[in-house]
Amino acid sequence: MASTKPHIPKNVLRRLLCLQTMKGFSSMVLDFDEIRQGIVNLQVGLDMTVRDILGKDRIPPAQQENLNVTWLQYAARTGDIPLAYEMIRFGANIEVKDNERGQTALNMAYERYLESQSPTRRMRFPHIDGVSELVQVGSRAREIALMLVEQHANIDVTFDEDLKVTILHMACMVKDWDFVGLLIRHGAREKMNVYGYLPSDILTPEEQNRFKQILSAAPTQRAPRMCPCWSGEILLECHAKEPKPYPSEFLCRCRSGKSHKRCCEGRNFDRMEVWNAKEGWIQPMDIPSPGFSTGGRDSLRTYLASMPASLQLGAAANLKAIHDVYFDAHLSSDVDALVSKNIVDPAFAWAVKRSRWIPRPLGPIRSKPHMAAHAEKFNGYVDEYIRKGIDSRPKPVIERAAKIHPSGGALYKVCEGPGCKMQEDGGSISFKRCGKCRLAFYCGVDCQRAHWKGHKITCCSPSQTERALPSQKVMQEHIITPLVDGTDHNTEKLEYYDEVVAQLLQSEGSN
pLDDT of residue 431: 85
Residue-wise DSSP of 195-236: TS--GGGGS-HHHHHHHHHHHHT--SSPPPPBPTT-SSSBGG
Cβ contacts of residue 332 below 8 Å, gap of 6+?
353
The CATH code of the domain that includes 45 is: 1.25.40.20
pLDDT tens, 453-491? Answer: 889 888 887 677 888 899 999 988 888 777 655 544 334
Q: How many residues can be counted in the chain?
A: 511
Say if residue 307 is in the same domain as residue 381. Answer: no
Q: Measured between alpha carbons, how far is 482 from 350 in angstroms, rounded to an integer?
A: 22
Residue 209 reports pLDDT greater than 50: yes
Q: Measured between alpha carbons, how far is 508 from 286 in angstroms, rounded to an integer?
A: 14
Rg (CA), the chain: 29
Residue 250 inside a domain? The answer is yes
How many domains does one find in the chain? 3
CB atoms closer than 10 angstroms to residue 232: 11
Write down which residue in 255, 288, 312 finishes a domain.
Answer: 312
Mean pLDDT of all residues in 293-308 = 46
Is 415 within 8 Å of 421 (Cβ atoms)?
A: yes
Single pTM value for the model: 0.66
Is 76 within 8 Å of 108 (Cβ atoms)?
A: yes
Residue 333, domain extent: 315-510
**β-strand pairing of 432-433 with 441-442:** antiparallel
Say if residue 271 is in the same domain as residue 415. Answer: no
pLDDT of residue 263: 85
Say if residue 29 is in the same domain as residue 120. Answer: yes
Which strand (E) or helix (H) includes residue 393? none
Tell me the residue ranges of DSSP E strands in 367-476. Answer: 432-433, 441-442
Residue 495 reports pLDDT greater than 50: no
The least confident of 50-64, 390-404, 486-500 is 486-500
Residue 167 inside a domain? The answer is yes
Across 432-451, b (16+ Cβ under 10 Å) vs e yields: eebeebebbbbbeeebbebb
Say if residue 301 is in the same domain as residue 332. Answer: no
Say if residue 169 is in the same domain as residue 58. Answer: yes
pLDDT of residue 503: 40
pLDDT of residue 287: 66
Q: What is the largest CA-CA distance in the chain?
A: 97
pLDDT of residue 292: 37
Is 315 within 8 Å of 497 (Cβ atoms)?
A: yes
Residue-wise DSSP of 131-170: HHHHHHHHHHHHHHHHHHHHTT--TT-EEETTTTEEHHHH
Tell me the residue ranges of DSSP E strands in 257-395. Answer: 269-276, 281-288
Write down which residue in 312, 341, 364 finishes a domain.
Answer: 312
The least confident of 101-105, 306-310, 333-337 is 306-310
Residue 492 reports pLDDT greater than 50: no
- Beta partners for residue 404, in sequence order: 410
Write down which residue in 216, 234, 259 finishes a domain.
Answer: 216
Q: In which band, very low, low, confident or very high, does the pLDDT at 129 lie, cut at 50, 70 and 90?
A: low
Q: In which band, very low, low, confident or very high, does the pLDDT at 350 lie, cut at 50, 70 and 90?
A: very high
Residue 389 reports pLDDT greater than 60: yes
| Mean predicted lDDT score pLDDT of the chain | 81
Mean pLDDT of all residues in 107-123 = 78
Which strand (E) or helix (H) includes residue 159? strand 158-160
Q: Which of 470, 215, 459 is nearest to 361 (CA)?
A: 470
pLDDT of residue 499: 41
If one compares 378 and 414, the residue with the highest pLDDT of the two is 378
